[in-house]
Every structure is written in structure tokens, then in C-alpha cells.
Amino acid sequence: MNAIAKKTFTHTLKKLCTSTFIFSLSFALLPAAYGDDVVVGFIYVGSKGDYGYNQAHALGAAAVKAMPGVKVIEEENVPETIAVQNTMESMINLDGAKLIFPTSFGYFDPHILTVAPKYPDVTILHAGGLYQEGKHPLNAGSYFGYIDEAQYIAGIVAGGTSKSGKLGFIAAKPIPQVLRNINSFTLGAQSVNPKITTQVIFTGDWAMPVKEAEAANSLIDQGIDVITMHVDSPKVIIEICERRGIYSSGYHADQSELAPKGYLTGAEWNWPKVYTDFVTLLKDGKPFPHLLRGGIKEGLVKVSKYGPAVSAKTAALADAAKAKFMAGDMVIYKGELKDNKGNVVIPAGTALSQTDIQLESMDYLVAGVIGNTGS
């Protein structure tokens, strides 16, 4: 090869390399095209088929998927680490997502708070109700439901059905959200039968199937005949209750198919409504609520259909409570209320409505609950 030929050859090679490089780069940088559809991303902390927390959100995503002009992308098992920041950015950069729902509580601080300011034209809405006006980015928001209202009704059903008067509650961690569910469930049951007790077992984390199974078995061995829970996936507990012939009350999603005989009812999220509402607002370019909270009345939470074991009398009591919630004149937390150590936590004459900030930092278990909040 002579010098000139060599030079042309290298030149061509160089040119070829650069153009291929630019081509591949631009190709790689282009978000995948989905036509004019709005791309909406959902991020789950666990498996979306967990019969629980994540499945409830995935049902919401499925409802959004059915809307016209929307393309839904989903990613499951994303931990609350830098991984979720990267997943959000990957959805934005590679898929062109304009709206993202990261659905785990721990995704908010610092992860959403880090990513949202970098992409002002993308909206990130978080399940957890942590948004603070003036402090957090304008393109972020947070929503959550007062699911303890549904737990209160489930408590009425449990209290009315239990023969032993002993209920069981398997919970992940003694944090305010969980304590509030345990207390509301117990207060609901006590409204039917004041002598009722709830034995609590904390497993320490959100998804501990082995510990949950051990806890369920030990509760049943103690003569407890209704068990409910606050863990990410109630599947194991519900199945054990059914197998051992006691009643169960579900959580997060409808688990009745796991226990056709013993499933009484359950406290469920109503994410399809929340998500389709948000997507409709954002698609039309309308302003959206940065902090959305609500209970049964607002349609954020609901109660599963009553199972075959629920008597007509008990169902009527539960429906009456539900009607009061719908009318907006039901107060769960009112004085005088004592904790299970005998201290007065709400003095006589005081009534705390669901929106009361004091309830957000609940650190006690009400009288009638057996267990303690120390971890």
C-alpha cells in the first residue's frame, strides 16, 4: 500500500468510525418512540404479583394502561437505593416518560427529591403523602390514603365473627402508619365487643414470609381465630389461616381467592381511581394536587366484599360504619382513650379527625392490644 492510498484508507476509516459513532450515539440517545402516547412509568419495590402492596399498585397501573393515548411502562423489585434514582432517570432518558409513579414509601427522600429538580418537565408522584408545600419540588407530589378507616370496618367484621374474642395482628414494624392500623382495627372490633383483645407480633421487616408464617402459626396455637396483618405480601398468612381453619382479614389487595372459606374482608387500596384521576388531569395539562390524602369517602381506600362466614348482623354493623365514613361524621380517635399501659393518650372530650397531624406520629397501642412498640 503506497502512502497516498494508506492515507485515504485511514481517512475513510476515521470518517466511517466517527459517523458510526455519531449514528449509534444519536440512536442510543433517542428515547424509544411510542407515537404521541404519554409515557407513564410505575416503579414497585417488590414483585407486582405479590397479592399485596405492589399488586395493589399494579392494578392501578393496569387501569391506566386501559386509558387511550397512554403507554405504561413498569419496573418491579427496585430497592430504595440509588437504583430507584437510576430507574427514574432511565425511564425519562430512554423511554421518554413524562409521568412517573414511584410507589414505595422510601423512594421519596432522598431519591425523588434528588431526581425531580433535574427534570422540571417530568412529573413524579409518590405514594406516601410526604409532600410539603414550599419545601419540595413543584413537579413532585405525594398521595396516600387513610387505610385505617378500612381497617376499622374490618375490625368490626372480625369482632363480630370471632368466637374466642382473641384477634391476631402480624405487622412489619412499629411505625406510626402500622400502629394506626392496629389501633383502628382493635377499636373497630371493640365497638362490637368491648372485651376483645388483639395480639400483635412484629416481624421486623416488610417481606419476611418465614417469620410471618411462624407468627401466624403461633397466634393460631394461642386460640386466636381471626388474623389480619400489615406486611407487604399477606399471601402466606392468609393461606396458613385457611389451612388451619381460622378466619383471616386481608390487606392492600383482595386476597379472597386464597381463602374462599375463611376470608372475612380486608382493607384495600383503590389505586385505579387515584391513578386514572391523576393521569387525566396531567394529560389535559391541568394543575394537580401536590398532596392528596383521603379515606373511604374520597375513594382512596375500600373494603373487600364480605366473605361467606360473615353473618348478616355483622355485615349490617360494618355497613353502618361505612355509611358514617361516607357521610364524613365518623371519628375513630376520640377521648377518653387509653394506651395498653394505662396512660391516657387522648383526654376525654377531645376528638381527633383523620387529618389531624397528631395521628401521624402515633407511638402507642390502645388498651386491648397485647404487645409493645419497642423493637
Residues that bind another protein (CB under 8 A): 24-25, 28-29, 32, 41, 47, 73-83, 86-87, 89-91, 93-95, 105-106, 109-110, 128, 173-177, 204-205, 360-361, 375
Q: How far is the CB of 32 from another protein (least distance, A)?
A: 7
Q: Could you give the CA distance from residue 138 to residue 14 in angstroms, rounded to a whole number?
A: 47
Q: Is the peptide bond before 149 cis (omega within 30 degrees of 0)?
A: no
Burial 140-174 (b: 16+ CB within 10 A, else e): bbbbbbbbbbbbbbbbbbbbbbbeebbbbbbbbbb
Residue 108 Cβ vs another protein, minimum distance, rounded to whole Å: 8
Parallel, antiparallel, or unpaired for β 123-127 and 99-102?
parallel
Through-space distance between the first and last CA atoms of the chain, rounded to whole angstroms = 79
Q: How far is the CB of 51 from another protein (least distance, A)?
A: 16
Whether residue 265 contacts residue 154, with contact meaning beta carbons closer than 8 Å, is answered with yes
For the CB of residue 190, give the shortest distance to another protein in the complex, in Å. 25
What is the chain's Cα-based Rg?
25
Comparing CB distances to another protein, the nearer of 73 and 99 is 73
Name the burial class of residue 74, with classes exposed (0-12), middle (13-18) and buried (19+) by CB atoms within 10 angstroms of its CB: middle
Task: In whole angstroms, give the CA distance from residue 47 to residue 55.
Answer: 7
* Shortest distance in whole angstroms from residue 84 CB to another protein: 10
Distances (CA, A) of 252 to 234, 264, 269, 300, 309: 8, 14, 6, 12, 21
CB 236 within 8 A of CB 227: no
* Cβ proximity to another protein, 52 vs 128, nearer residue: 128
Residue (116 or 310) nearer to another protein, CB: 116
**95 vs 214 by CB, closer to another protein:** 95
Which of residues 47 and 217 has its CB atom nearest to another protein in the complex? 47
Distance CA 367, CA 219 (A): 19
Q: What's the Cα-to-Cα distance from 318 to each of 83, 182, 243, 294, 335, rounded to whole Å?
A: 43, 17, 26, 19, 22
Nearer to another protein, 80 or 277 (CB): 80
Tell me how far, at minimum, the Cβ of 87 lies from another protein, in Å.
5
Q: 81 by DSSP, 3-state: which?
A: coil
Three-state DSSP class for residue 374? coil
Q: Which lies closer to another protein via its Cβ, residue 33 or residue 327?
A: 33
CB nearer another protein, residue 84 or residue 274: 84
For the CB of residue 298, give the shortest distance to another protein in the complex, in Å. Answer: 20
- Which C-beta is closer to another protein: that of 25 or that of 351? 25
* Helix, strand or coil, per DSSP, at residue 355: coil
What cell was used for 218? 403461633
Taking the complex as a whole, the smallest distance from the CB of residue 282 to another protein amounts, in Å, to: 20
Q: Which is nearer to another protein, 203 or 304 (CB)?
A: 203
CB of 306 to another protein, least distance (A): 30
Q: How far is the CB of 80 from another protein (least distance, A)?
A: 5
DSSP 109: I
